[in-house]
Structure 1
Amino acid sequence: MSDDKSKTGGPDRERINTNEDYEVRNWSKKLGVTPDQLKDAVKKVGPMVDDVRRELGK
C-alpha cells in the first residue's frame, strides 16, 4: 500500500519508508548520504529518523 501523500505530519516525519523512491531520494539528500547508505542504516537500526541520524553520525 502506498503512502497517502495528503496525510503528512508527525508520524510521516519521524519515519523513513525505504519502499518509496521519493522518500529515499529526499532523505538521502537531506542527510548527505547515498541511497544505499540510507537503506543500509534503516535496515540496521529501523525506520525512525533519530536512530538513522545517530547511525549515520548526522
Structure 2
Amino acid sequence: MSDDKTRPGPQDASRISLGEDYEVAYWTKALGVTRQQLEEAVGKVGNGAEAVRAFLQRGAH
C-alpha cells in the first residue's frame, strides 16, 4: 500500500518515517524540534514515536 500524500499526518502514527518530507514536517511540528534533532533522536532510539517523544522530553537532544 502506498502512502496517501493528501493526508496531513503520518501513515503510521506509531512510527516516524524520515524518508518522506511531509512526515518529517509533521513530526518536527508535533514534537517542536528541528529536523536535525528529530534525525538524532531516531538514530539513537529508533523510529518508534513514543520512544522518540520520551527521548526528546528527557532533554537528551
Instruction: Write 1 or 2 for the structure with the bigger share of helix.
Output: 1
TM-score, scaled to structure 2: 0.76
Relative contact order, higher structure (CA 8 A, sep 6+)? 1
After TM superposition, where is structure 1 displaced by more than 2 Å over at least 4 residues in a row?
A: none
Which residue is equivalent to 2:4? 5
The unaligned stretches of length 5 or more in structure 1 are: none
The unaligned stretches of length 5 or more in structure 2 are: none
The size of the alignment, in residue pairs, is 53
Which residue is equivalent to 1:55? 55
Which residue is equivalent to 1:35? 35
